[in-house]
Every structure is written in structure tokens, then in C-alpha cells.
Structure 1
Amino acid sequence: MSLVKKFATVGGATLGSRIFGFARETLMAAALGTGPMADVFYAAFRFPNLFRRLFAEGAFNAAFVPLFSKEIEANGVEGAKRFSEEVFGVLFSALMIITIAMELAMPWLVTWIIAPGFADDPEKTSITIRLAVVMFPYLMCMSLTAMMSGMLNSLHHFFAAAIAPVFLNVVMIAALFYALWTGADPLSTAWYLSWSVLVAGVLQLAVVYFGVRHAGIKIGFRRPRMTPNVKRLLVLAVPAAITGGVTQINQIIGQAIASGKEGAIAALQYADRIYQLPLGVVGVAVGVVLLPELARALKGGNLKEAANIQNRSIEFVLFLTLPAAAGLWVLSDAIIRVLYERGAFSAENTAVVGSILAIYGLGLPGFVLIKALQPGFYAREDTKTPMRFTMMAVVVNSGLAISLFPLIEERGIATAEAAAGWINTIFLFSTLVWRGHLKWEWAFARRTALLLVSAGIMAVALTYALRYASPWLASGSHFLQQVAALGLLIAISMLVYFSIAFLIGGADLGMIRRNLKRKPKKVATPVDPEV
């Protein structure tokens, strides 16, 4: 299977999850708006959601996949099965202890880390603690899901691991439909959502478990033991967990600061959901597929092939995210109005969330490039260097957020996150080039400049077209009319960008096909006779 097809498989499944996520957030906006219960739920959900994104989007795989792949090559499937059982025993036991400890410490975590701004409102603090207690066991489900997803990715079974996140959104949508249908008050709606998160975690774990069984591996429980392989995994996993969570760490910092203003947490969350679409579809797909591909090439001593895979992946990221960034900047208000402005979500909310989304758009290419650059370190079993850069980015984010929030409120937090993302990207890229792990190509630099020109021309054309579409996008317009107008604008932007990019040489279909369409070595995948 070519890289493009693998990107499409993971990206397509992630796209499905993000579309359901949009539906979920639209219902959330209608049911809760940016009111107190929206703030409370999102604050309580932030902690388990941190681990969802941290583990599901590559941090655990960064440590697990290279070691699992090495076991397959050295000791076959039986050796990989033995390694996975050793990891499962230690991971399950550690997660059980962590979950119990966190549940007991939840009052302290909410008061000092998750939402310190709620301190003046004892009722909000109390509800946040209780909701977080219900949702935190989701951590166990997602961590075990991440491990099994890493096994599936190493065996080139991408779909089950990529489709599992859909279940979170489907179950939460069902809870919201039930709340709206029964006319539940905001507090009851928050409780329904909290329990739906826990149910979704169990379903996601079941999906990847049966996926692993279908791939031919049965995982049994072994007594936890610190074997050499497990110790090596922990040495790699801790820095990778910190590194992979840079965006989420920055968002927790931003949330803690934003909790001082009512509605700010919900506003940041609604904007975050929009830019997570291109970040998930492109960034997660590239990160998930690229790591095992790089690890395979490096283990085989194919350094030239590894450098080519890395460069082409970066080019693929820029080709898709530069126009997405320009589109989010120009269409931010229109997107928020069409998706959210109804029920408890007002025109004033649209203006605030739209301004946040525009800033996130500027940081989008940087956020996605991080996903494409980090595997260059992880495939070489270097997780400490990205961790150091992450910590630098966190310091920058914290300083900017604290400085800018009193001046421009939520927009200051978004600005801090975008700046931290770009700083991290620059550090990762320059280090890979300096070490010789990433080959500098002047032809690639030229194409990147031409892609920037194409995205700029697209933004100008979109700004001009938006003037004519504004009457159909106005607050009082019919929903279907708004959707049609927004869809037309997006279609125009795509037509302009891709036409200009191919016309002036920023992209070349033949080059992309030649560099990405290649056949890697197949991994022997046994078939379970019982499946």
C-alpha cells in the first residue's frame, strides 16, 4: 500500500470522527452555548481529553511502535506477542494505581490545575470535581486502546485504530439528542455527557481489541514485571508523552488562565474543534503512518529512503495545510455562524469564537508539521530531544498567555498557543537538518514558496467572494442557505488554490505520485483461525 493510500485510510477514518465531532459540538452549542455548564463540562473533560489526544494521536506509539517493530523483525510474531503481553501487564497495573490516586486527588486537581478560576464559585467547583471523577477512568480505556492501536499500525492494519475515536462522538451525540429530546436542564445534560464519555471509552477499547484478534494476536495478562524491554519502553515513553502532549499541555495552561472569565473555556473549545479537523485528518494521519514507515526504513539501513519519506511527508503537509490556514483566517466568522449560531449560541459568541479560530488558523501548519517532524526523532528512539523543545514551547506559551490574556482575553491564549507551536516546529526542523536526518532540498524550498503564493492568492479571491456571499451568510438567513453559501466559498477557494499551485509549479502531480506511490516490504501477518 502506498503512503498516499495509508494517509487516506487513516485520514479518512479521522475525517469521519471529526465530522461527528462537528455534529457533537453543534448540539453542544445549541444545548449549552457558552454558559456556566458548558464551562464546567469542558473543564472537567479537559483532563481525560488530554490523555485521549496524548495517547490516541501518537505519543504512546512513539515509544511502543519502534520496539514492537524490532521484536517482529528479531523474534517474529511470537516475540512481539510476548512483548505486548509484558507491556499490557505493567500498563494495566500502573493505570489502575494512577486512576485511583487521581480520583482521590480530584478536588485538588480541579482547584489548582484544571480550573483555578472557579475558586470563587464553590458550586461550579463542586460540579466540575464530580463530573471529572466520572470521566477520569476513560484514561485507562484510552491508554490500553493506544497500545493495541500501536500493534495494529505496526502490522499495517490502520483502519480499526483510526475508526475507534468515532465512537466517542457517536455516544456523546446520542447523549445530547436524549437531553434535547427530554428537555433536560444544563446540569442534567452535563451529567449525561460525562457518563457517555466513560461508555465510549469501553467501546473504543473493544474495537481495537477485536482488531488485534483479527490481525492474529491474542493478548493474555501477565504478572507485571520490569523486563529489559519494558524498561526501555518506559525510558522512551515518558519523554514522548510530554512531547506528544505539547498542544494539550498548552491548552490546559490556557484553560487555567481562561477560567477567570465566564464563557472563555467554552469559546476556546468551540474554536479548537474546528481547527482539529485539518489537524486530525492531515496531522494524525501523517504521524501515525510515518512513524512505522521511518522505523522500517531505518531498521533496514535505508537512510536515503527514510530521508525521502520524511521530506515528502512534510511537502504533503504544507500542500494541504497552507490553504486551510488561509481559509480559516478569512472564513472564521462565517464558519462559526453556520456551525454554531443557534439556540443558546448568540451572534456575540460568534464574534468571539471566530476571532479565536482565525488565530488558530495561523498556527495550523505549525501544529501539523510537528506531527510530521517528531517521527524523525522517534524512529531513531530519540524521545528526549523533542521533549526539550516541548518544554521550551510550554514556557513561551505560558509567558505569552499570562501577558496577553489581560489585554485581548481569549485571543491572547490562542495567540500564545499558535506562537508556541511554530517555535516548536522551528526547533524540530532545524535540528533534523543540522543532524543530517532531514535533507535540505532547494527544489522543495522553492515549491514551498510557490505554495505560499498560491495560498495568498486564494485568500485574496476568497475575501473578494465573501463580500457577495455575505447576505446569504447573515444571521437571519435560512440554515440551508448558509450551508450552500459557505460550501460554494470553500469550493471556489479550492479551485483557485489548486489551479494556481499546479500552474506556477508549487505542486506537480507526477512528482507527488512518483515520490509517494511506492511499495514497502510487507509484514507477515498471521491469521487467527478462530476469527
Structure 2
Amino acid sequence: MWRKAASVGGLTLVSRLFGFVRDVMMAAVLGAGPLADAFMIAFRLPNHFRAIFAEGAFNAAFVPRYARALTREGEGAAKAFAEDVLALTLAAQIVLLVAALIFAPTVVALLAPGFRDDPGQLHLTADLTRITFPYLLLISWMTLIAGVLNAHDRFAMAAAASILLNVCIIGALLMTGLFPTVAHALAVGVLVSGFAQLGLVVWDMRRAGLSLALRPPRITAHVRNFLRGFGPAVLGSAGVQIAMFADTILASFLPTGSVSYLYYADRLYQLPLAVVGIAVGTVLLPELSRRLAADDLPGARDRLNRALEGSLALTLPFVALFVSAPVPIVAALFGRGAFDQSAVEGAAAALQAYSIGLPAIVALRCVTPAFHASGDTATPVKALAFATIMNVALKVALVGSFFSAGLAFATAVGAWANLLILTWLLARRDGFAPDRRFLVTVASLALGVAASVAAIRWSLGIAAGMKGLIPQFPDFAPAVVIGLIGAAVYAAVAGPGMALARRR
């Protein structure tokens, strides 16, 4: 499992590195002003719907059922099921796309009501949204093919597809002179990347000897079973997106740049989530599905324990760094050009708040597949409903005093509430039972994080004296020193305990 996760995580890391190059270029050119806010929202809108209807909900409902059909009925039945789901998906996405193209100003006004007072900002965002929204149809198609590849133990190209998004946006940034504004160039880059990502997974599918034909939509017994799982999964994914919609809506009323602060903070805390949480979750879902289909409950519990402890071990160093030194990290990565000191401080405050919930968000990527693998997509929805209510209520309560950082902190609290509820419910049905190795590992990791936070706080003064050693990147050396000290202390303190846990 970890070999496959390493493959997905490694390619995701490459994508994130290209993503940081993209974000550094965007920050330097766009900064955190009105043009940046317009593009961020135009980019967020198809991604909100993508998270609802494509990756999260779709994988939860499709992958276990495809894997079950493949295991029990053979490739022919699994292929027919995938083709029927693809036909239904494309039909629904075409309807949604036409509606979005026609009613783009209304959609933007609903999701960013603060823009209504600035007609120029509203119409610019709507124009950009019309360019970016077709990306949703392309990426939904790509997600289905990726699910098929994952069920056949092919993870590499599906994971590598996201690299193309960043490559296309970087290419668009290098050709901004061909477009009315930088934001228009970025929007076109997003659209082009959708075609590129779809093309990559289609090529890999054919290389694997697989194919999916386009056919008219039809509702078969397998499709009805898929829809029964997909409905609750959509509600679950929608819960997360409701909280993100609330961020967009509330941030549109905050001072200019607030939407961008949340975007850049999100990009940083999404690094461990993508490289660790999403990679492990992607591999864990088909793994648990196969074990549960074979009635191997002890094996499934063991895989979940190992996934949780490994995910936390790789995530907690980032938590220590982001909580203890957010300003040097944001300054090193984005603090240049149009991204001034006030933008650095705004994004750093949001990053610090987000990072409090990072362990919970990563752990959810392991716990939630344990429900989905058994065909239960309803229970995570019930847990998420409570967490979403708490999340949105906190956002409304905190945004007036803490601005974008308050929105990020509410997200963190909601994630912890969701994780605690799901873990308790999973333990009640014997799907999760922490063993001795898990408990010793978690205790060791907690000590490592505490020591790392103390070391990072101590190193801030030393690192500040190194500012300017690299003239072109004056904040880079301090951030590297802080990061290396924190990682070294974490490994030195947590490592022995983890090694002892593995031996027992």
C-alpha cells in the first residue's frame, strides 16, 4: 500500500512544486488586488462543483462498486457499468455547463455578493468564469477514467495529470501579452489544462488495454446502485463546499485582498494534504474495498491503522512549522513583487489558523474511505452535516473580528468535529480499533511536535539575522533554516519511539 501511496504522493509533490512556481509567479504579477480576487473566484467556482460532483463524491460511490463488479463479475460487467456512468455524468455536466455559461453573472453575484457594489468587478469575474467553467466537464470525465485506472492498480498517470494544470497556467503566464489581462490568460490556462489532463488519462487507459465507449445514458441496476451511493456522497462533498462557499461569500465583504489571502494560505496547507492525505486516501479506498469484499475485516483494520499513523507522521512537521513560523514561510514563497508585507501578514494569519485543523483533515482522508469501502456513503454525510453547521456558524461569528483568519480557524474546528464523530462511529462498528503500535506511534509523534514547535520558536531570532543572504530571495534563507531545525528536532524526538513501536 505504501509503495503505491509513495507513487501517488511523489507525483503529487511534483505537481505541488510546479504549483508553487505557478503561485510565486501569480503572486508577483497579480499580488492580492481586485484582478487577483476576480480570478480566484472564477477558478474556485468550477473547483467547488468539481469537488461536489467529481473527485470526492464520485470516487466514493464509483470506485468501490467498480472494484466489486471487477472482482465478482469480470471486466465485461465492470466496463459496461463504467460506460453507463460516464454517459450519465457527461449528460448532467453538459446541462450544468450551459446553465453556468448563460447565468454566470447571477452565479457570481450569489457566491460573491460583495462584488455587487462593483459592477466592473462582477462582470470581469463572470467573464472569467465563462472561460474556466468548461474545465469542470473535462475534469469530471478525467476523474471517472482515473477511478477505472485506480481500480486496476494504475495510479501514476492519474496522479500526474494534475501536473498539467500547473504547467498550462505557467505557460499562460508567460504569454500574458496575448490576452486582455493576466487574469484572462490564467483562465485560458485552466481551460487548456482540462483538455491536457483528460488526454493523459485516456492515453494511459489505452496503454493498459482498457477502453470506454460513449453511449446514450441508460439506467441499469448497477447505475441505480451507484446513484444510491452517489446521492449521500454528493451531500457529503456539498457539506465541505458549503463551508468553502461561506468563505467566498464572507471574504467578498472583507477588505480587498482577503479572497487572495485565503487562496495562498490554502495553497500552502494543501501541500501535506495533497502529498500525504489524498495520496493515502486514493490508494486506501480500493485496498479496503477489496479486503471488505473478501470479508477480511482484521486486515482492513490493520491497513487503516497503518495509514493513519503514517499519514500523521508525515503531516505533523508541517503543522509545527505553519503554527510556529507562518510569516517567514509565506514571505519566502510569495513575498515579492506585488505581494507586499500586508499581503504576507494576511496570508500568514490564515495559514496559521488553517494548520490547526491539518491533522484532522489528513486523518479524514483515511477514516472516510473506511465507510465508503463498505458502500456506506450516508454515515459520513450525517457527521459532516453537524460539522458544517458548526463551521459556518463559527465563520459568521469570527469573521467580523478576525477577518480571513477567522474563516480559516472555523474550517479547522469543523474538521476536528467531523473527525471525532466519524472515528467514534467507525469504532462502534468494529471498523477501527487502535492497536498498541498505533498508540505508541501517536504518543511519539505528539512529543516530536511539541519539541519541534519549541525549537522553531527558538530559531526565529537566529533565522531573522540571515535575511538578505540571497539578494534575489531575501526571505528564503531564514525559512530554510527554520524548516531544517524543526524537521531535525521532530525526527530526533519522534523517531526512536516510532522505531520501538514497529519492533513490538
1:217 alignment partner, one of 200, 210, 215 = 210
Q: In the alignment, what sits opposite 1:271?
A: 265
**Does 2:434 correspond to 1:440?**
yes
Give the whole-Å Cα distance in 1 for the aligned partners of 2:320 and 2:167. 30
The CA RMSD over aligned residues, in Å, is: 1.9
Q: In the alignment, what sits opposite 1:385?
A: 379
1:95 alignment partner, one of 72, 93, 96 = 93
Q: In the alignment, what sits opposite 1:71?
A: 69
Larger mean CA deviation between 349-358 and 441-450 belongs to 441-450
- Gap runs ≥5 in structure 1: 515-531
Give the whole-Å Cα distance in 2 for the aligned partners of 1:415 and 1:278. 18
Q: In the alignment, what sits opposite 1:135?
A: 132
1:299-378 to structure 2, matched below 5 A, reads 299-378=293-372
Query: Do the aligned partners of residues 245 and 282 (structure 1) sit closer, same or farther apart at CA in structure 2, a change above 3 Å counting?
Result: farther
**Does 2:244 correspond to 1:251?**
yes
Kindly provide the CA deviation profile for residues 358-400 of structure 1, in whole angstroms up to 9, marking residues without a partner as x.
1111111111111111001000100011112222222111111
**Does 2:191 correspond to 1:203?**
no
1:457 alignment partner, one of 451, 459, 468 = 451
Conserved? CA contact 1:462–1:492, under 8 Å: yes
Return structure 1 stretches of 4+ with deviation > 6 angstroms.
none
Conserved? CA contact 2:444–2:495, under 8 Å: no
Give the whole-Å Cα distance in 1 for the aligned partners of 2:472 and 2:455. 24
One-letter amino acid of the structure 2 residue matched with residue 362 of structure 1? I
1:14 alignment partner, one of 12, 15, 20 = 12
> What is the CA-CA distance between 1:241 and the residue it aligns to?
2.8
Give the whole-Å Cα distance in 2 for the aligned partners of 1:325 and 1:248. 23
One-letter amino acid of the structure 1 residue matched with residue 64 of structure 2? P
Q: In the alignment, what sits opposite 2:480?
A: 487
1:29 alignment partner, one of 23, 27, 30 = 27
Conserved? CA contact 1:58–1:287, under 8 Å: no
Conserved? CA contact 1:46–1:252, under 8 Å: no
**Does 2:389 correspond to 1:414?**
no
Give the whole-Å Cα distance in 1 for the aligned partners of 2:234 and 2:221. 20
Q: In the alignment, what sits opposite 1:171?
A: 168
Q: In the alignment, what sits opposite 1:117?
A: 114
Kindly provide the CA deviation profile for residues 424-466 of structure 1, in whole angstroms up to 9, marking residues without a partner as x.
1111111101111111335523431221111110110111112
Conserved? CA contact 2:258–2:346, under 8 Å: no
Give the whole-Å Cα distance in 2 for the aligned partners of 1:25 and 1:56. 24
- Gap runs ≥5 in structure 2: none
Q: In the alignment, what sits opposite 2:157?
A: 160
One-letter amino acid of the structure 2 residue matched with residue 462 of structure 1? I
Give the whole-Å Cα distance in 2 for the aligned partners of 1:450 and 1:131. 48
TM-score with structure 1 setting the length: 0.91
Conserved? CA contact 2:16–2:271, under 8 Å: yes
Give the whole-Å Cα distance in 1 for the aligned partners of 2:433 and 2:413. 25
Q: What is the number of residues matched between the two proteins?
A: 503
Give the whole-Å Cα distance in 1 for the aligned partners of 2:458 and 2:258. 31
Give the whole-Å Cα distance in 1 for the aligned partners of 2:421 and 2:103. 36
Q: In the alignment, what sits opposite 1:50?
A: 48
One-letter amino acid of the structure 2 residue matched with residue 415 of structure 1? F
One-letter amino acid of the structure 2 residue matched with residue 253 of structure 1? A
Give the whole-Å Cα distance in 2 for the aligned partners of 1:56 and 1:511. 37
> What is the CA-CA distance between 1:23 and the residue it aligns to?
1.0
One-letter amino acid of the structure 2 residue matched with residue 223 of structure 1? P
TM-score with structure 2 setting the length: 0.96
2:79 alignment partner, one of 73, 78, 81 = 81
Conserved? CA contact 1:334–1:473, under 8 Å: no
Give the whole-Å Cα distance in 2 for the aligned partners of 1:502 and 1:56. 38
Give the whole-Å Cα distance in 1 for the aligned partners of 2:240 and 2:445. 25
Conserved? CA contact 2:466–2:478, under 8 Å: yes
Kindly provide the CA deviation profile for residues 394-431 of structure 1, in whole angstroms up to 9, marking residues without a partner as x.
21111111111111111110111111111111111111
Q: In the alignment, what sits opposite 2:103?
A: 105
Kindly provide the CA deviation profile for residues 267-316 of structure 1, in whole angstroms up to 9, marking residues without a partner as x.
10011000111010011001100000000000111111001001111111
Query: Do the aligned partners of residues 56 and 86 (structure 1) sit closer, same or farther apart at CA in structure 2, a change above 3 Å counting?
Result: closer
Conserved? CA contact 2:32–2:260, under 8 Å: yes
> What is the CA-CA distance between 1:511 and the residue it aligns to?
2.0
Q: In the alignment, what sits opposite 2:186?
A: 193
> What is the CA-CA distance between 1:123 and the residue it aligns to?
0.8
1:402 alignment partner, one of 396, 399, 402 = 396
Give the whole-Å Cα distance in 1 for the aligned partners of 2:432 and 2:32. 44
> What is the CA-CA distance between 1:130 and the residue it aligns to?
1.2
